[in-house]
Amino acid sequence: MDIFDGRVVMVTGAARGIGEATATLLARRGADLLLTDIDQAALDDLAARLTATGTRVEAVACDVRDLGATQAAVARAVEAFGGIDVVVANAGVASYGTVLTVDPDAFRRVLDTNVLGVFHTVRAALPTIIERRGYVLVVSSLAALAATPGMAAYDASKAGVEHFANALRMEVAHLGVDVGSAHMSWIDTPLLREAREDMSSFDEMLAALPAPLRAVTSAEDCAKAFVEGIEARKRQVFVPGWLSSLSRLRMILNSRLGDRMSARDRARLIARTDTDVRRLGRSTGPRYTESDVGG
């Protein structure tokens, strides 16, 4: 019998990318699923595919910036399945442009989605997670370990949710709940593909990174690491695994030495980034407008 048989897992931002791949793998392992996303059509398509395999799915269109909507989604799963054992707080967005040029509304949307969205997700599900002595996986990023110029909102949000996970872990450990944070490098998702299509400077920035850091991992391989992390109730999940070594060097990465190590062509690439943003006339990918964020 698989450890996930009969377990109930909530995945936010489930319609595409890492969320979709994680939900698909969990379904194969026998989990029941609460899936949320802002993209109703894509979410319904995924739910139909998984339901056809015999998986029990509650698919709820939900903007994680809305606490009430997130609580309603959790209530659906509690009613359908009796509770939730695992939360994967995955929903997230990114913005383009330096602090001087990024659209302030886009900056705010990144923080609202990536930080408040994680809080709303965990807050809504925590009572049932405590009741079932479950596990929470907060999706952070390599961006929490080392900043990238032109991505200040994303960097700040992912560093923020890493510390959110650290605080939450201490708050609920005595209740039998474990908390992990996931740290990924570049994953082949719509978010990454949109950035590469929108911003010629983005590909140039990737190419300028040392070989291991420029590698792109598939969403399926990322999902495998997530599911292994959930199964082992890990404190940290790194994708690729060698990021665990890099995480021990974060003091160096964020020191003057680290600044010097990443200084090659930085000024030119920053200028290129802002030129791309001005050309686009927006600071987010094409799927994310004022009324269409959160997944």
Q: Which residues are catalytic?
A: 154
- Burial class of residue 226 (count of CB atoms within 10 Å of its CB; 0-12, 13-18, 19+): buried
Is beta strand 135-139 parallel, antiparallel or unpaired with respect to 32-37? unpaired
244-253 long-range contacts, CB within 8 A, separation 24+: 246/142, 246/145, 246/146, 247/145, 247/183, 250/145, 250/146, 253/145, 253/146
- Residue 171 structure tokens: 């708050």
| Cα(53)–Cα(248) distance, integer angstroms | 42
| Cα(84)–Cα(179) distance, integer angstroms | 14
Instruction: Name the residue among 87, 80, 110, 116 with its Cα closest to residue 23.
Output: 87
